[in-house]
Structures are given as C-alpha cells and as structure tokens.
Structure 1
Amino acid sequence: MATGTEPHPNSGGVRSATRAAIDAPHLRTDRWWLAPATTAAGLLAFIVYSTWRAFSNAHYYAAPYVSPFYSPCLAENCRTMHAGPNADLFGSWWALSPAIIILIFPLGFRLTCYYYRKAYYRSFWASPPACAVAEPHRTYTGESRFPLILQNIHRYFFYAAIVVAGILTYDTVLSFRDEHYRWGHMGLGTLVFLVNITLIWAYTVSCHSCRHIVGGKLKHFSRHPVRYRMWQFVGRLNARHMLLAWSSLVSVALADFYVYLVASGVFDDPRFF
C-alpha cells in the first residue's frame, strides 16, 4: 500500500524518497519562466554583439574616442588602424583583433560575478530555473568541481577590473578633446563615455569582493571609522548590484556602438563646444 513517501518513478534531482511523490513538476501557476527567459535573451544579445565587435577588428576609433572594447590598444596592428593611444606591448606577432586581449579581463570579472553566476545558472542551465521550480539535473555539485570551481578567482578578476576601469576613466578624460586633440571641447560622445564610466565604476565598486576587501576581517568597526564608512558606502551600492550589473552592461555596449557609428561614418559626433 502506498504511503506517499515512495520514490517517484522518474527519480532524479529533487525527486527522492524524502520528497512528496507529486506528479506535477511544480505547483507554481504564475509566469515564473519570464524572468529566466528575459535574462537569457539579454545575456545572449550581449554575447552576440560583443563577439561580433571583438572579431570585427574595425571601426573602433573615431578621434578622440576609442571603443571600450579595444582600449588600451596593446598590439601593433592596433597602431596601424588609428593614431590614438597605443601601448604596443604585444608587438607585431599578435595578428588577431586587439579586443581579444582586453575583453578577457572585464568579461572574466562579469562571468565570475556573484550576480551574473546566479543569472546565467538559472537562465541557461536551469539550475534552478526559478524559486520553487525543480531543476532538471539529477545531481548537484555546486561549484566544487571543474570548471565551476574556477569561479573562485573572481576576487582576482576584481583587481583586473579596477585597472580596466582606470584605463576607461583615462579614455573619458581624453574625450574632452576635439578631433584635432585640442582640449576644452565636449561632444555627445563625451556624455556617452561619462555615463558609461560612472556605471562601470559603480558596478565594479559594488562587487561583493570589494565589500569584503573594504570591511572584511574587522572585529571592531569602531576602531576603523574610515573603513566602516567605506564599507557602508559599498554596502549601499551592493544592494543595487543587479541593477548596476545590467546598466553597466548596456552602457559599455552603447559606448562601443556609438564609436562604431561615428568611425564608420554613419554620422559625425555632435560637438557642444
């Protein structure tokens, strides 16, 4: 006689002897699938766009703007494309798009970000797809095995993200020039870069690793008033980490797209003064 505790015929994942033998995969009747589907669509759109721009190796500089996907230019082939800033650390042997050298750091930071991990685990891997919705996987190992154990290097990508944000800040300062590199000018692209770098810094600083670096391992906040205020500030930003993650993702794509439009001759950058 059935007792209601027998294993489900298709036992796997959360379906085990300790769970109620309910035939329905879940009891939610709302549109629970909308959030993970929207997240997947947004992330997929950025992946497609950034991949296209990274491998296009063209239209990434329009004086005085350089695309955030390509800055700083670290290869000789970047020097042949424009006369802008060029560190040329990789020399002439690097034949691929110079953006590939740069994007690995901000993308690594975002891929290992605590929020983004939750976002793409749910949207692409359905692990789990939503609250109170069983995931389809039979086993769950978390981030204890390869390759997900590499998520632990997030704190190191944070340090690289700080450097990248500093470089983009420098590019934003250079945007206060005209096409002849004369200072004291401002265009629509300058505003685009200002909005982008503000969101980039806000997202980077709101990172959980930053919050731990600022206020972690302190037993008495009263003995460290400066770090305590910094921890409070980062904590307020951290509460909006998801919003800042999406806003900065959109802004960096828009900044690159703006440079692409100007560099490809679609329109000239409007100058305010």
Structure 2
Amino acid sequence: MTTTATRPGRGPGRAAIGAKTLRNDRWWLPPLLTFAGLTAWVIYATVRVFMHKWYWVEEFHYLTPFYSPCVTERCVPEAAHIGRFLPGWWIIPDAALTLPFLLLFRLTCYYYRKAYYRSFWLSPPACAVPDAHKDYSGETRFPLIFQNAHRYAFYAAAIISLINTYDAILAFHSPKGFGFGLGNLILLGNVVMLWAYTLSCHSCRHIVGGRLKHFSEHPVRYRFWTFVSALNTRHMQLAWITLGTLAVTDFYVMALSAGWFGDLRFIN
C-alpha cells in the first residue's frame, strides 16, 4: 500500500514510494554481463597490443588487425606496409597510427555509450532504475563533450577498414604464390563484419541520406540509405560480433606465429 503526498494548494502529488525501483525482474543482469564482457575484451586487447610479438605469419602473410598497419621500428619489415617511422619504445603500440582512432570510434559509438554508461557509470543502470549520480549535465562538458567527434571518428574508421581489407587481400598472396587457408577465411570474415559494423553507424546513415528533401531525386543515395538503415537496426549485435571476430582473428594469428599449431590449408 502506498500513500499519496499532498502539495499545499496544489492537490495530490506523486505517490510516496520508499523503494528505489518497483522492478522485480533481474534488471541488473544486462549491465553486469556488459561490464564483464567489455572488461574481459579490454584486458585481452591491452595485453596483446603491448606484447609486441606474435602478430605476423611470414609463411602466409597473415597480419593481426591489432598490429595493422605496423609502423614502429620494432615491426617486422615485411609487416610494415607503409614504413616504420615511429620509435620502438615499449609504451608505443605498433599500430599507433590507427588504434587511437578505433578507440575513439568505439567510445563515441551510440550503442557503446549506452553500454558503458549503464554498466560502468550506472547512469542509469536500467530503465525505471534511479541514476547513481545526483547531477547530470549531458554531453556538454569535458570529457563527454568529445562524444560529438563521433562523425569524424567514423571517417577514420572507414579508412582503417580499407587497410584491414588490404591486409586480408594480401594474405592470399604468400611467398609461395596464391594460397588459401583457414586463416584467410578468418581474416576475410573479420573484414566483412568490420565493414558491416562501420556502415551501420548512425553517422554513416545520416551522411548518406541526411538533409535530402526528395529521395526520388537521389535514387542511388536512397538505395544506399535503405541498405545502411537495415544494417543500423543490427548495430548493437554487430558491435559485439566485431569484438568477437577481432579477438578470434588476433588469437588465431598469434597461435600460428607462436607455433602452437599450423594453418589448415585448402590451396598451397
């Protein structure tokens, strides 16, 4: 039973409910799983980025996306497709040219904002559950104001997807000539998923079809907009799938480079 608070001269107000939320379902489970999943991935990726080894398979030209493009003096020359122009200090990732932009793209992604706002900041942890913070200023102050850079991060992510595509194509041409193995399938599958996630971005959808008053006058853009819109409905799933494909691709290349097992070859 609840009582109704009375405001002087204004009649009944809101019900005086002492509980923080009336939800009796397991509303805490999704943010908990998200916290565990993102934390595990960040730990794995951080360890791999700063291992500085087991990223290149010379025999098949496999390069893990965590080290692409490899631009430090520490890089294997064959894996440094655009040169080695950064010092080989331990603190500098071998893919320092791309990793900051990929991190910015993921951090400012509309889905990931929801994910880490709820799971890490509890702001709010779920619908109809109070925010853990007393004050809320939106994304108008430092550091959240940088969320507005998402569109520019999208451009960088598109360029990096092109680089990953080049790596996947290059892997078909090993020192022995044309070849095809399980590693090629994994690299190719990762690239396809990365493109799907990148193109499903809300910024991409706006760039393609935003500010158009008449779709009939822009049939090509309209077709692309409908394609991107269909992908956009799966943006959350693609965000998680690409975390998985990146980890699987990196682990497979690492295992081959370390000699834990050999690549399953279909041709050459």
Q: Is this a same-fold pair by TM over 0.5?
A: yes
Number of positions where the alignment pairs a residue of Structure 1 with one of Structure 2: 258
Q: CA distance change for structure 1 residues 159 and 175 in 2, over 3 Å: closer, same or farther? A: same
For the pair 1:25 / 2:20, whether they are aligned, the reply is yes
Partners of 1:122 and 1:128 within 8 A in 2: yes
Aligned counterpart, 1:199 = 193
The one of 46, 49, 53 equivalent to 1:51 is: 46
- Give 1:70's aligned residue: 67
SS of equivalent residue, structure 1 residue 246: helix
Asked if the contact 1:207–1:238 (Cα under 8 Å) also holds between the matched residues in 2, the reply is yes
- Structure 1 residues 222 and 191: alpha-carbon distance in aligned structure 2, compared to 1, 3 A threshold: same
Aligned residues of 2:183 and 2:252 also touching (Cα < 8 A): yes
- Which of the residues 110, 125, 140 maps onto 1:144? 140
DSSP 3-state at the match of 1:228: helix
User: 1:128/1:92 Cα in 2 relative to 1: closer, same or farther (>3 Å)?
Assistant: closer
- Give the drift of 1:177: 2.8
Alpha-carbon separation, structure 1, partners of 2:206 and 2:6: 44
Aligned to 1:249: 243
Match of 1:11 in 2: none
- Structure 1 SS opposite 2:98: helix
What CA deviation, in whole Å up to 9, does each residue of 1:129-151 have, x standing for no partner?
01111112111111111100100
Say yes or no: does 1:121 pair with 2:122: no
Instruction: Calculate the aligned-residue CA RMSD, in Å.
Output: 1.9
Q: Of Structure 1 and Structure 2, which has the larger fraction of its residues in strand?
A: 2
Task: Assess if the C-alpha contact under 8 Å between 1:57 and 1:99 holds in 2.
Answer: no
Gaps of 5+ in 2: 8-12
| Aligned residues with identical type, % of pairs | 55
Q: Which amino acid aligns with 1:212?
A: H
CA deviation digits over 1:128-177, x for unaligned, max 9? 10111111211111111110010000101101001100000001001213
Aligned to 1:12: none
Does structure 2 conserve the Cα–Cα contact (< 8 Å) formed by 1:214 and 1:230?
yes
Distance 1:159 1:94, change over 3 A: farther
Residue 20 of structure 1 deviates from its aligned partner by 3.8
TM-score (norm 1): 0.89
Secondary structure of the equivalent of 2:79?
Answer: coil
Q: Secondary structure at the match of 1:120?
A: helix
Contact persistence 1:207–1:241 (CA under 8 A):
yes
Equivalents in 2 of 1:252, 1:86: separation in Å?
20
Shift of 1:94: 5.2
1:88 offset after TM fit, Å? Answer: 2.3
Matches of 2:88 and 2:68, distance apart in 1: 19
Contact 1:75 1:87 in 2 (8 A): no
Distance (Å, rounded) in 1 between the aligned partners of 2:150 and 2:6: 42
Q: Is the 8 A contact 1:206 1:237 kept in 2?
A: yes
Structure 1 residue 126: Cα displacement: 0.6
Shift of 1:270: 1.4
- Indicate if the aligned counterparts of 1:5 and 1:20 stay in contact, CA closer than 8 A: no
Counterpart residue type for residue 57 of structure 2: A
Within the alignment, does 1:209 sit opposite 2:203 as a pair?
yes
CA contact (8 A) 2:67 2:94 kept: yes
1:38 corresponds in structure 2 to 33
> CA 1:134/1:238 → structure 2, altered by over 3 Å: closer, same or farther?
same
Q: TM-score, normalised by structure 2?
A: 0.91
What is the identity, as a one-letter code, of the residue corresponding to 1:236?
Answer: A
Specify the alignment match of 2:10 in structure 1.
none
CA distance in 1, matches of 2:27, 2:230: 28
Equivalent residues of 2:74, 2:94 under 8 A apart: yes
Given the alignment of the two structures, is residue 187 of structure 1 paired with residue 181 of structure 2, yes or no? Answer: yes
Question: Taking structure 1 as reference, are residues 250 and 5 closer, same or farther at Cα in structure 2, changes over 3 Å only?
Answer: farther
What residue ranges of structure 1 are gaps of 5+ in the alignment? Answer: 7-17
Q: CA deviation at 1:216?
A: 0.5
Could you tell me which of 205, 216, 231 is aligned with 1:237? Answer: 231
Contact 2:4 2:16 survives alignment (8 Å):
no
Identify the residue that residue 222 of structure 2 maps to in structure 1: 228
Q: 1:92 to 1:141 in 2, by over 3 A?
A: closer
Mapped to 2, the partners of 1:3 and 1:32 lie a distance apart of 27
Equivalent-residue separation in structure 2 for 1:196 and 1:145 (angstroms): 36
Match of 2:173 in 1: 177
